[in-house]
Amino acid sequence: MEKKEHLFVVFENLIKIKSECSCQIFSECGLSDITLKQVEYLKAIDEYGEVTFSRLAKITRNSKPTITEMINKFVKMECVYRERSQDDGRIFYIRLTEKGRMIARAEESALLQVIERMANSLDEKEMDALINILGKLR
């Protein structure tokens, strides 16, 4: 059990480093108090691209009023803006600002930072061994 406990501590440290990197990104955006749910909404907007209020409501399984309220908050936070459809003036697309994109991609960026720290801490043989070991996980 001792090795499993040690592995737990090692992974806990990795997760802590990733969390610190994410928090740093949020802080740089001036949004250190953003919620996980808000980040998930921004990630959905980023992932689906051409997102309308109705589509985002379907994607997130929320009502349109809930989405409208959240988007209004995001506009105030300068994470998104509304863009009127050129084909149908009744339709608005939700677009991410650069700040919104940074937040939506913060987890990925944080993970890349963790990997960079690992790469800087290990020699080539150790990196190969780590890749081999982690590659066995399913």
Q: Do 115 and 98 lie in a common domain?
A: no
Secondary structure of 89-119 as H, E, C letters: CCCEEEEECHHHHHHHCHHHHHHHHHHHHHH
Q: Do 112 and 59 lie in a common domain?
A: no
Please compute the mean of the pLDDT values over residues 102-108 and round it to a whole number. Answer: 92
pLDDT tens figures, 31-40:
888 888 999 9
Number of domains in the chain: 2
The answer on pLDDT for 1 being more than 80 is: no
Q: Do 126 and 99 lie in a common domain?
A: no
Q: Do 82 and 126 lie in a common domain?
A: no
Rounded CA separation 106/60 (Å) = 19
The reported pLDDT for the residue numbered 36 is 87
Domain containing 5 equals 1-33+106-138
Q: What is the arrangement of strands in the sheet containing 92-96, beginning at the earlier edge strand? A: 51-52, 92-96, 80-84
pTM for the model stands at 0.79
Q: Do 28 and 85 lie in a common domain?
A: no
Please compute the mean of the pLDDT values over residues 2-25 and round it to a whole number. Answer: 90
Please compute the mean of the pLDDT values over residues 92-103 and round it to a whole number. Answer: 95
